[in-house]
Structure 1
Amino acid sequence: MVSDAAPTRRGLLKTAGALAGAMALPEAVSAAMRATERKQTPLSASALAPVRPTPRVVPSSPRVVSPQLMRKALAAIERHGNRVAHRDRMVIADFSAPSAQPRFHFIDLVSGKSVSKLVAHGSGSDPAHSGYVQRFSNQDGSNASSEGAFLASEYYVGKHGRSQRLIGLDPTNNNALSRAIVVHGAWYSNPEMLRTHGRLGRSQGCFAVGERELAEVFDRLGQGRMIYAAKV
């Protein structure tokens, strides 16, 4: 279980600056942050605490997060800071990438490390099932993914098993709760889909992850953190 200790605002901003400038690879992020720590005032004790190794922490996206998308996500967490209880890490859903690539990025804003998972998008965002998001929608019944910042809320058990409700924080996704846009596990998001079809299946707008990944996703996301979804 990763620590939920939230960094100070000053520490977050220093770390965020290093991340935005060096998100090509996680190793580059860590190196940039170590250099920043040597030149500037040390971070808080909680930020400097050693990160316990977690199984399967393998950065599987070739570029992790583009600087442009990282800046948009950091701006969103600042904009919604009073509603985001835990700002030590966040998730960025990079819908510029195809569903065949791990594009659900868990970004640790304290250590600079990242872990990436497969995630499906909505059928209304990709009517031809090309594997790429073509459009976003906030409309009920659209079955499309929405862009913007989401707050991870409570867990519940529904038709997809254990799931997590999301609250849309922007005008582009503020119907998420009424649309039942959630995080859940799904067979069509399992890696086997890539071997047989070359892409994942599609959700009804939810962030559907692999069934075997769900427990880890919930553990890393927790409640009170932000998911930022966009295509740049």
Structure 2
Amino acid sequence: MKYKYYSSVGIWRRWMGGILASMLLAGLSNCQSSAGEAIAEQQSAVLSARATTTDSAVAVVEASLPDSLRLTPIAPLPKLPDSVRRAVQNLYAQLGPEAAGLRLPVLERACVGYLNLRQTGRVSHPGVLAVADMDLPSSEKRLWVLDLNKGEVLQHSHVAHGRGSGHLRAEHFSNVMKSACTALGFYRTQDTYQGKHGLSRRLRGLDVGQNDNALRRYVVLHAADYVSKQHVQRYGQAGYSRGCPALPPDLYRAIIHAVGEGGCLYLSGPGLESKWLDGAVAARQFATQGWK
């Protein structure tokens, strides 16, 4: 089955990410506090090796995959100030092996959007960012909840896409009512309520024309049996929602609490454009507030 070949890519990413992260930590532990420049150089070298080695090896593996399983390339954001780019690269190095499957360009866009939204006050939960790479197949754990200040992965999970978006991979995205599609873009996490799926958290879409029907479509974070470990193991992928980023029953409460109310959720995917990817605004916000 095709998904098994792709899953091997994910396993390889996590294994290699773990080895390189261990190298980084070992190197840092051997440095004295007075050797700040040496630490920074070593961290930069390991980050570069991690990105180059992982990308090169994955490119070789993906070259043998059918077109339907090849990820969509993401170009770095143009005109992004070096201060923000370096901050994201440092964060990426800190996150370690649990974030090995999170592509750096996806993280970069998520962080820039978070900084823009913090600057405008549209998200109010400081230092927490949830990122889902919906270009990855649903057989992979493609949702990360990050603590930006500590450089930690709080949660890492499978997440469903809408049945109108595709099968193993989501290929179609829509903001249209009753489309049963996933809608890409930035979301503000809203209040919680008890619904037919138990504890759920509402989502407000912040990209006009792309996901701003989320509240009217009842797109929420909720638990679903079709995202459980057992379902993924049996069928080789998660099942489908009606457009919600549905979560595993054993993790949904932890994820819903981790993102909090007023948090930032970024659903990344092919073709996404957002006005919240303004590098100049992100740089001003980071210079004054950091990740707060």
Per the normalisation by structure 2, the TM-score is 0.59
Mind listing any 5+ residue stretches in structure 1 that lack a counterpart? 1-12, 32-57
Name the residue aligned to 1:187.
Answer: 225
Could you tell me which of 124, 127, 139 is aligned with 2:164?
Answer: 124
From 81, 87, 94, the equivalent of 1:29 is 94
Correspondence for 1:109 among 136, 148, 169: 148
Does residue 231 in structure 1 map to residue 258 in structure 2? no
1:93/1:230 contact within 8 Å kept: yes
Q: What CA distance in whole angstroms lies between the structure 2 residues aligned with 1:174 and 1:94?
A: 19
Distance, in Å, in 1 between the alignment partners of 2:231 and 2:237 is 6
Question: In 2 relative to 1, CA 72–224 (structure 1 residues): closer, same or farther, beyond 3 Å?
Answer: same
- Aligned pairs for 1:62-141 within 5 A: 63-81=100-118, 82-114=121-153, 115-126=155-166, 129=167, 131-141=168-178
Indicate the SS of the match to 2:144.
strand
Question: What amino acid does structure 1 have at the position aligned with 2:203?
Answer: L
TM-score between both structures, scaled by the size of structure 1: 0.74
Give the C-alpha shift of residue 22 in structure 1.
4.9
Task: Report if aligned partners of 1:147, 1:230 keep a CA contact under 8 Å in 2.
Answer: yes
Deviation at 1:88, TM superposition (A): 0.8
Taking a change above 3 Å as real, the CA distance of residues 107 and 17 of structure 1, as seen in their structure-2 partners, is farther
When residues 18 and 29 of structure 1 are mapped into structure 2, their CA distance, relative to the original with a 3 A threshold, is farther
Structure number with bigger Rg: 2
Identical columns (%): 29
Residue 193 and residue 23 in structure 1: after superposition, are their counterparts in 2 closer, same or farther (change >3 A)? farther
Structure 2: state its 5+ residue gaps: 1-80, 271-292
SS of equivalent to 2:215: helix
Correspondent of 2:190 among 153, 160, 174: 153
Provide Cα deviations, 1:40-95, integer angstroms capped at 9, x if missing partner.
xxxxxxxxxxxxxxxxxx82x5x242121112112211222211101211100111
Q: CA, structure 1 residues 189+30, in 2 after alignment: closer, same or farther (shift >3 Å)?
A: closer
Between Structure 1 and Structure 2, the one with more strand by share is 1
**Using the alignment, how far apart are the partners of 1:151 and 1:15 within structure 2?**
25
Deviation of the 1:17 alpha carbon:
4.7
**Aligned CA-pair RMSD:** 2.2
Q: How many residues align structurally?
A: 186
Q: For 1:80, what is the secondary structure of its paired residue? A: helix
Query: CA 1:133–1:197 in 2, change beyond 3 Å: closer, same or farther?
Result: same
Moved more, 217-226 or 176-185: 217-226
Letter of the aligned partner of 1:213 in structure 2?
A: L
